[in-house]
């Protein structure tokens, strides 16, 4: 039964892994959020050298995504960062973050026009239609992943419950068989004891009858 449990749970876990694995777009969004966290630190630290390092990382990542042919992931990566800039443009302007990030994005060669538009408008505190579209698509994808994850977890729970139910049924059958065997054994023992008692009684009776017959033959009262 343990083997059945392992097999069922194995399938459930594989289903969970398959349903919740992140797409390239979602991974790009996660990486962009890491950059956003680093930029936020520089709002307080105001380290120009570190800002340049972050900006270089942004440019290299977008170039890498475009080189791999994943334009959608590149758009998402740039959109998440541009959204942060648009929402915090005043706080990011004085320390040079807006200029550094905007230049890092727009300096990428063969950059799709939508990414250029998104970055340049974000530098002015404006969220472009393209930016909004990308963010909405990303939110929809994350919601779909959460739904799939919930479904996979429910499936795993149902599979585990089914295994536990099957185990309980087997245990009940084993207990019933054991009880039946014990009852049969007890009945057989009782029958054997009764037969033994009857045999002893019959033997005693025969002895008594034989003794009485012998006495009668010998004239003994």
Here the tokens at position 5 are: 């449990």
Residue extents of the structural domains in the chain: 2-152
Q: Which residues, including other chains, have CB under 8 Å from residue 86's CB and lie 6 or more apart?
A: 121, 122, 125, 126, 127, 131
Mean pLDDT per segment of 10 residues, for the chain of length 221 residues?
40 39 83 92 88 94 93 91 90 88 92 88 81 73 47 59 73 84 80 78 77 72 61
pLDDT for the residue 182: 84
CA–CA distance, 30 with 126 (Å, rounded to integer):
22
Q: What is the pTM of this model?
A: 0.52
Question: How many C-beta atoms lie closer than 10 Å to residue 72's C-beta?
Answer: 16
Q: Give pairs for 146-153: CB < 8 Å, separation 24+.
A: 148/19, 148/20, 149/16, 149/19, 149/20, 151/19, 152/12, 152/15, 152/16, 152/18, 152/19, 152/20, 153/16
Count of H-run helices and E-run strands, the chain:
8, 0
pLDDT for the residue 43: 86
pLDDT for the residue 133: 72
pLDDT for the residue 220: 64
User: For residues 8-19, b (16+ Cβ closer than 10 Å) or e, as one string?
Assistant: beeebeebbeeb
pLDDT for the residue 141: 52
CA–CA distance, 62 with 85 (Å, rounded to integer):
17
Here the tokens at position 141 are: 């994808």
Question: How many C-beta atoms lie closer than 10 Å to residue 121's C-beta?
Answer: 19
């Amino acid at each position: 039964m343990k083997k059945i449990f392992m097999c069922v749970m194995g399938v459930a876990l594989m289903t969970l892994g398959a349903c919740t694995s992140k797409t390239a777009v979602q991974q790009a969004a996660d990486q962009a959020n890491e950059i956003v966290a680093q930029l936020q630190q520089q709002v307080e630290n105001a380290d120009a050298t570190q800002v340049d390092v972050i900006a270089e990382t942004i440019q290299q990542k977008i170039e890498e995504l475009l080189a791999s042919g994943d334009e959608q992931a590149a758009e998402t990566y740039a959109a998440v960062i541009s959204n942060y800039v648009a929402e915090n443009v005043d706080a990011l302007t004085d320390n040079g973050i807006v200029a550094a990030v905007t230049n890092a994005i727009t300096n990428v060669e063969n950059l799709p026009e939508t990414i250029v538009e998104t970055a340049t408008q974000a530098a002015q505190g404006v969220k472009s239609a393209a930016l909004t579209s990308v963010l909405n698509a990303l939110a929809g994808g994350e919601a779909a992943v959460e739904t799939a994850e919930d479904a996979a977890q429910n499936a795993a729970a149902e599979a585990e419950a089914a295994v536990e139910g099957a185990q309980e049924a087997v245990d009940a059958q084993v207990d019933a068989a054991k009880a039946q065997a014990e009852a049969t054994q007890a009945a057989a023992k009782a029958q054997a004891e009764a037969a033994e008692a009857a045999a002893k009684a019959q033997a005693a009776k025969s002895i008594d009858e034989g003794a009485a017959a012998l006495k009668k033959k010998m004239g003994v009262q």
